């Protein structure tokens, strides 16, 4: 185990990478900022990075504008199956759930897997049975449904292969930034507390019209998420199959280990993913010194970050707006 060290606390979140129409951008931007503030408040209360990462992701899961928890998209059978993971950078312990159903906050269940079992991942019926055992009760699927998710499935009828297989294929992404239309509202958070401990978490409802039982990158450490006190933390969003093929989170950590900063590591890894798979996506990255990087090869990705009592946020292009936190927050 690494010794703890003093560092500047930081919370960063994302609300998923997407391309195409932008009518939801204000709601997603507000949701990301709110989640960052929720995570920051939790960090002030407990001083614990894991608590803050869980709280921030729960906020995103509770917001029906995002594809995680409430608002999760529907699979090809018309049901919701969710994935989530959380990782402790001090110990490298992690917990994940996949294809879990009827759970309001999958990230909280993932934390229970990390802290109450010897396993890293539970799936399907077994994950739901474990949820009941640890006191996380199921809720009716209707409580997780949003009108937007129902609409998305209707729009995919008769277009299953194109929707799932190519929705995130970018066209000449480095030259023209023209992208296939699609969404992947996977949410995530990365946190460093004052002791230098890193936590990372990712949660998703997956891709609209996915096959029942499909699992993407999100609940798998090194793919959709990674946290390590020695280097930093990453949460990913985008075309899951592409992310899995290049081990995106681990690749970014590897680039930072080789000396790149968070922003450069993110750009290099997403360029590599496009070169090898034509897949698009986005990431939030922290190094162990509290520096952050944000990059995405889709049209939009709502993100927000709090450090030094300042809120940084953006949603498209190279936006990085900065504002002071309210006095009662600072």
The CATH number of the domain where 132 resides is what? 3.60.20.30
Give the 3-state secondary structure of residue 110. helix
- Does residue 99 belong to any structural domain of this protein? yes
Catalytic residue at 186? yes
- Does residue 330 belong to any structural domain of this protein? no
**What pLDDT does residue 151 have?**
85
From the candidates 70, 108, 186, 202, which is the catalytic residue? Answer: 186
Least confident stretch, 59-68, 209-218, 320-329 = 320-329
- Does residue 3 belong to any structural domain of this protein? no
pLDDT(328) > 70: no
Q: pLDDT band for position 153 (50/70/90)?
A: confident
DSSP 201-244: EEEE---TTPPTT---STTSBTTTEEEETTTEEEEEEE-HHHHH
- Does residue 215 belong to any structural domain of this protein? yes
Alpha helix positions (H), 62-213: 106-116, 124-133, 147-156, 160-166
CB atoms within 10 A of CB 281: 31
pLDDT (average), residues 13-32: 87
> What DSSP character marks residue 51?
H
Render pLDDT for 274-290 as a digit per residue (tens, 0 to 9).
999 989 999 999 999 99
Number of domains the chain contains = 1
Note down the domain range covering 76: 10-324
Q: What is the pTM for the complete model shown?
A: 0.93
- Does residue 1 belong to any structural domain of this protein? no
Render pLDDT for 50-100 as a digit per residue (tens, 0 to 9).
999 999 999 999 999 999 999 999 999 999 999 999 999 999 999 999 999
Beta bridge partners of 229: none
**What pLDDT does residue 20 have?**
67
- Does residue 4 belong to any structural domain of this protein? no
**What pLDDT does residue 290 have?**
92
- Does residue 5 belong to any structural domain of this protein? no
Q: pLDDT band for position 169 (50/70/90)?
A: very low
- Does residue 128 belong to any structural domain of this protein? yes
Alpha helix positions (H), 83-123: 106-116
């Amino acid at each position: 185990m690494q010794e703890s060290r003093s560092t500047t606390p930081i919370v960063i979140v994302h609300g998923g990478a997407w391309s195409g129409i932008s009518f939801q951008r204000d709601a997603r931007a507000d949701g990301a900022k709110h989640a960052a503030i929720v995570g920051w408040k939790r960090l002030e209360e407990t001083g614990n990075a894991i608590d803050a990462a869980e709280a921030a992701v729960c906020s995103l899961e509770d917001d029906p504008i995002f594809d995680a928890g409430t608002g999760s998209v529907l699979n090809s059978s018309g049901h919701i199956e969710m994935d989530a993971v959380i990782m402790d950078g001090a110990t490298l312990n992690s917990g994940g759930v996949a294809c879990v159903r009827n759970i309001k906050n999958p990230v909280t269940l993932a934390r229970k897997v990390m802290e109450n079992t010897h396993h890293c991942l539970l799936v399907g019926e077994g994950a739901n049975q474990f949820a009941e055992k640890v006191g996380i009760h199921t809720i009716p699927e209707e409580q997780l449904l949003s009108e937007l998710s129902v609409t998305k499935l209707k729009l995919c009828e008769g277009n299953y292969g194109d929707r799932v297989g190519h929705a995130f294929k970018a066209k000449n992404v480095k030259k023209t930034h023209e992208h296939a239309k699609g969404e992947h509202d996977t949410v995530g958070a990365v946190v460093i507390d004052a002791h230098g401990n890193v936590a990372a978490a990712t949660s998703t409802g997956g891709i609209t019209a996915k096959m029942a039982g499909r699992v993407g990158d999100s609940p798998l450490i090194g793919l959709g998420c990674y946290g390590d006190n020695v280097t930093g933390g990453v949460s990913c969003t985008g075309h899951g199959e592409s992310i899995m093929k290049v081990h995106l989170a681990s690749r970014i950590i590897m680039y930072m280990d080789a000396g790149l900063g968070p922003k450069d590591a993110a750009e290099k890894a997403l360029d590599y993913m496009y070169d090898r798979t034509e897949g698009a996506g986005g990431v939030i990255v922290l190094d162990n010194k509290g520096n952050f990087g944000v990059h995405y090869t889709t049209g939009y990705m709502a993100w927000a970050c709090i450090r030094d009592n300042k809120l940084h946020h953006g949603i498209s292009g190279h936006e990085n707006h900065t504002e002071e936190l309210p006095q009662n927050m600072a």
